[in-house]
Chain A
């Protein structure tokens, strides 16, 4: 038994099966991310006046990542076009670049994550609060952890524009100027928390959206890499089908790119 239209398009619909399949799948993905974006809007509109933080993320790094992803979308198209022009080796080069860019994207993203997990807000019992870094850059510390590990004090380097977490200059450890390190006794601390998803609603939606997006990047990269690795064999057996697979995986890749193009302004700029 053979299923028709796996390779060649059906005349009246103009589509081969997998292409229709991926479009349908992407429709459901639009609804998935659409729901999360709507949630973002609802939470932001419902936030207490002035409570929504700004400037927590590093815009230059975000821009760089945007460029990386856009470039990978170009290489995906070039890879597909190379196959259409019967140039397998050029396809391989372009598609390897795609996978490489995907890796770079994920690396930069995890760097940003790490940056948030080592960045703290501390509230002291005298009511003072500041943001900054703990010496040794530990992740996910909080008061319970300090007490459980019997850590009597921390060495805290406040951010330059210290105080409110929405200060504009705030950025990564590398780029922002620092205040003087001070020692803070655990007994003086009321609350200690890094900028993880639990810190506020903005970070919650930031981490949820970007993590889900990153999963899509990783999943897409794995599929593209798999097709790349088996391309030689498929090229001999069924070049048209290989081209189709590259096209379909490319469509997915563009979608992942597109989601980021919405994510970037919404989370970094607005």
Chain B
């Protein structure tokens, strides 16, 4: 309601607004979609760094259990107190860092970067719109995201520390943990959910309403389609989590028992609660968001991959409609696969059967998308620049992530693999060398549009090769560890279960499995170092990079390259009309090997 009226207000307001904007209005409280996109990008990159840093510290604990963390141990103790006594990572701290690594990476890192940042910057440009439909709502979305992020960060420093029950926050564990971290987590999530909802409404409305004349649905670049489906996922999947968050909050502060069963024991005493609640209910509601969320993480990256791939293979996409319909199929199916995360909860074999079936079906459109990309490379004259390298690496990396998911989708194999490092390996292949590589491709690709300067190719390639090597060195051994029985969320890296220490422990593991923790950790730190070339390249290029000589440095076809560089407020210098599809590369009979969409 309010947002709508604000937007109308904004629109009429702008008519009279030809004076220069001050710094605050231009960069902080901006309603320009490009500025908001950049705000999202920078904030999200910072959160990615924080999420990584948490994991870098946890990896020390996994490799060298209960030894003081070098460099930062003292700092941790000073900041957080008892949980980091003597600079060592306690179990509580490990749990908090683990939960917040997941939360921050997913909700404050990848989603804001993939959906909000790239979507905001690129979508209006690609459809030929002057801005988003509701610019004020757009600003509110970023602000809500920012507040949610701050709440999450502050929660590290409250007494008892941040949430400790994993990013999935399963009740009763999350409810009965005697600290306030979980309450902060819930409130932070409500802000993040609000932000996503506002963003989703805005994206969908923009794509439906503000396409330039001639931009028919089947002329939309695939990136726009990907964001469109993503927005629907956010719009419809997040509210159930919000409902669940409200109920968990009631359980925490109003003494209700939504997720607490009758006869619940806390520290071996029967809890004084009304009972009658259902722990499974939380899991259902969480995964009703949780599964669509993984497609929120991957679809925008696929969109970027499509843009970069066509541009650098100088070929039209092979199977445009297959891409579009597949992403719709994914969008729809992702709402009916959620309980494949719950095979081991005892929800029953009939339900499991249903969800195994849908899970296998949803893998089909994913495979179609990947196949379309591979076939599109066939016979292209490929330019191996940095964005293209990341794009090309995305394909096999996402492939590994996807294929290793199949055994998790079957009841019988999941019994063995559930909650092990195999799962960690699987979904990180999807989101880390998968999505993140897609996002890097996007950053290198659109950087010149945003800044008017190119990023360094040499340092880009250094960044790429090192990242590729270390990503695999981190996540490949995890499959092995998981299949050998190493569970996730163990604060000692499994030494308690080592054959050497405890030869008759149930599920004892060989020492070589536990030893690989050390290699993985070293690779994880090396991955961090490998980002230094990127960070330096990013900032140095912003001020001193090679200036672009044209508005369309990659010889691309889509509309974002037809604006001035960087695009001014309102985007297009003159009204734009679209005459052709998004990927008309190397069209026979044309003078150039690319034909922009607005060329008559």
Q: For residue A45, which residue of chain B has the nearest CB?
A: B278
**Which A residue's beta carbon lies closest to that of B202?**
A21
CB distance from B208 to the nearest CB of A (A): 6
Which one, A3-11, A70-78, A89-97, A179-187, is touching chain B? A3-11
Q: Nearest-CB distance from A83 to chain B (Å)?
A: 15
Chain A residues near B244 (CB, 8 Å)? 35, 39
Determine whether the beta carbon of B235 is less than 8 Å from that of A21.
Answer: no
Q: Is the CB of B250 within 8 A of A3?
A: no
Instruction: Determine whether the beta carbon of B205 is less than 8 Å from that of A227.
Output: no
Contacts A3-B130, A28-B235 given: A20-B243 contact, CB under 8 Å? Answer: no
**CB pair B278 A1 closer than 8 Å:** no
Contact at B239–A35, with CB atoms within 8 Å? yes
Contact of A220 with B by CB under 8 A:
yes
Contact of A223 with B2 in the complex, beta carbons under 8 Å:
yes
For residue B507, which residues in chain A have a CB less than 8 angstroms away from its CB? none
Whether B8 is near chain A, meaning CB under 8 Å from some CB there, is yes
Contact present for A223 and B5 (CB under 8 Å):
yes
CB-based contact B235/A5 at 8 Å: no
Residue of A nearest to B2 (CB): A223
The answer to whether A21 and B201 touch across the interface, beta carbons within 8 angstroms, is yes
Given contacts A43-B276, A244-B8, A245-B5, contact A13 B240 (CB under 8 A): no
| A residues less than 8 Å from B236 (CB atoms) | 27-28, 31
- A32 contacts B255, CB within 8 Å? no
Instruction: Give chain B residues whose Cβ lies under 8 Å from the Cβ of A27.
Output: 235-236
Interface bits A194-225 vs B (CB < 8 Å: 1, else 0): 00111111001101100010000001100100
Shortest Cβ distance from A39 into chain B, in angstroms? 6
Among candidates A6, A15, A20, A29, residue contacting B8 with C-beta atoms closer than 8 Å: A6
Is residue A59 within 8 Å, beta carbon to beta carbon, of the partner chain? no
Name the contact of A10 in the complex, choosing from B2, B134, B209, B262 (C-beta under 8 A).
B209
Pick from B200, B247, B254: contact of A28, CB below 8 A: B200
Is B144 interfacial (CB 8 A cutoff)?
A: no
Q: Please give, as numbers and ranges, the residues of chain A lying within 8 Å of B19 by CB-CB distance.
A: none
Pairwise interchain contact A2-B133, C-beta atoms closer than 8 A: no
Q: How far is the CA of A245 from the CA of B7 in the complex (A)?
A: 11
Alpha-carbon distance A189/B513, docked complex (angstroms)? 59
Q: Which residue of A lies closest to B275 (CB)?
A: A201
Contact B204 A200 (CB under 8 A): no
| B210 surroundings in chain A (CB, below 8 A) | 3-5
Q: Which A residues touch B208, using CB under 8 A? A: 13, 15, 20
A105 contacts the other chain (CB 8 A): no
How many angstroms between the C-alpha atoms of A241 and B11 in the bound complex? 11
**Chain A residues near B11 (CB-CB < 8 A):** 2-3, 6
Q: Are B243 and A35 in contact (CB under 8 A)?
A: yes
Give chain B nearest CB distance to A267 CB in angstroms.
Answer: 15
List residues of chain A with CB within 8 A of the CB of B256. 197-198, 201, 204, 207-208
- B residues in contact with A51, CB < 8 Å: 276
Most buried by A among B134, B239, B255: B239
Is A252 in contact with chain B by the CB < 8 A criterion?
Answer: yes
In the complex, A241 Cα to B8 Cα: how many Å? 8
- A98 to chain B: closest CB distance in Å? 13
Residue B12 at the chain A interface, CB threshold 8 Å? yes
Tell me if A36 counts as interface (CB < 8 A to partner B): yes
Q: Is residue A229 contacting chain B, with contact meaning CB distance below 8 A?
A: no
Residues of chain A within 8 A (CB-CB) of B269 are none
Find the A residue at minimum CB distance from B282.
Answer: A39
Least CB separation from B204: chain A residue: A24
Counting CB contacts under 8 A, is B258 at the interface? yes
A17 touches B2 (CB 8 A): no
Is the pair A18, B8 in contact by a Cβ cutoff of 8 Å? Answer: yes
CB distance from A73 to the nearest CB of B (A): 15
Chain A residues lying within 8 Å of B202, measured Cβ to Cβ, are: 21
| B4 in contact with A47 (CB, 8 Å) | no
Asked if A238 CB lies within 8 Å of chain B CBs, one says yes
* The residue from B4, B12, B273, B288 contacting A22, defined by CB atoms under 8 A apart: B4
Closest to A212 in B: B246
Query: Are B281 and A43 touching (Cβ within 8 A)?
Result: yes
Q: Closest CB-CB distance, B237 to chain A, in whole Å?
A: 8
Nearest CB in chain A: distance from B286 CB, A: 11
Interface size class of A (residues with CB under 8 A): 35 or more
Inter-chain CA distance A46–B258, complex, in Å, is 12
Q: How far, in angstroms, from A217 to B217 measured CA to CA in the complex? A: 38
Interface secondary structure of B, over-half rule: helix
| Contact (Cβ within 8 A) B7 A6 | yes
B254, A197: Cβ atoms under 8 Å?
Answer: yes
Q: Given contacts A27-B235, A32-B240, is CB(A39)–CB(B209) below 8 Å?
A: no
The answer to whether A28 touches B239, judged by C-beta atoms less than 8 angstroms apart, is: yes
- CA–CA, A22 to B237, complex, Å? 17
A74 → chain B closest CB, angstroms? 19
Q: Is the CB of B277 within 8 A of A20?
A: no
Contact B274 A32 (CB under 8 A): no
Q: Contacts of A39 on B, CB cut-off 8 Å?
A: 243-244, 247, 258, 281, 285
Residues from 195 to 227 in B contacting A, C-beta threshold 8 Å = 197, 200-202, 204-205, 208-210
B1 lies within 8 A of A3 (CB):
no
Give the residues in chain A near B5, CB-CB below 8 Å.
Answer: 18, 223, 226-227, 245, 248-249
Q: In the complex, A35 Cα to B282 Cα: how many Å?
A: 11
Given contacts A208-B246, A241-B12, contact A43 B258 (CB under 8 A): yes
- Asked if B257 lies at the interface with its beta carbon under 8 angstroms from chain A, I say yes
Q: Beyond A198-B254, A201-B258, is A1–B8 a contact (Cβ under 8 Å)?
A: no
Is B130 a contact of A248 with CB atoms below 8 Å?
A: no
B570 lies within 8 A of chain A by Cβ = yes
Chain A residue at minimal CB-CB distance from B237? A31
User: Is B268 interfacial (CB 8 A cutoff)?
Assistant: no
Cα separation A144 to B125 with both chains bound (whole Å):
62
8 Å CB contact of A25 from B201, B246, B570: B201
Q: Which of B1, B202, B247, B275 has the most CB of A within 10 A?
A: B1
Bound-complex Cα distance A212 to B243 (A): 10
Question: Which one of A196, A200, A237, A245 contacts B4 once the chains associate, using CB atoms below 8 Å?
Answer: A245
Determine whether A270 belongs to the interface, using a CB cutoff of 8 Å to chain B. no
Partner of B205, one of A21, A226, A241, A252: A21
Distance of A208 from chain B, by nearest CB (Å): 6
- Return chain A residues, CB-CB under 8 Å to B414: none
A219 CB contacts on chain B under 8 angstroms: 1-2
B15 contacts chain A at the CB level, 8 A cutoff: yes
Interface residues of A in 161-205 (CB under 8 A from B): 196-201, 204-205
CB distance from A30 to the nearest CB of B (A): 8
Using A20-B209, A198-B274, A201-B276 as known contacts, say yes or no to A35 and B240 having CB atoms under 8 A apart.
Answer: yes
Alpha-carbon distance between A237 and B15 when the two chains are bound, in angstroms: 13
Nearest A-chain residue to B249, judged by Cβ: A208
Q: A6-B11, A21-B7, A252-B1 are in contact. List 6 more A-B contacts (CB 8 A).
A: A6-B12, A21-B133, A28-B200, A35-B243, A207-B254, A241-B8
Would you list the 4 A-B pairs with minimal beta carbon distance, nearest first?
Answer: A1-B570, A198-B255, A35-B240, A32-B239
What are 23 A-B interface contacts by the 8 Å CB criterion?
A: A1-B14, A1-B131, A2-B15, A3-B14, A3-B130, A3-B135, A5-B133, A5-B210, A6-B7, A13-B208, A21-B202, A28-B201, A35-B244, A39-B247, A42-B278, A42-B281, A46-B278, A48-B262, A198-B254, A198-B256, A207-B250, A208-B246, A223-B5
Chain B interface residues (CB < 8 Å from chain A)? 1-5, 7-8, 11-12, 14-15, 130-131, 133-135, 137, 197, 200-202, 204-205, 208-210, 235-240, 242-244, 246-247, 250, 254-258, 262, 273-278, 281, 284-285, 288, 569-570
User: Which residues of A are in contact with B by a Cβ distance under 8 Å?
Assistant: 1-7, 10, 13, 15, 17-18, 20-22, 24-25, 27-29, 31-36, 39, 42-43, 46-48, 51, 196-201, 204-205, 207-208, 212, 219-220, 223, 226-227, 237-238, 241, 244-245, 248-249, 252
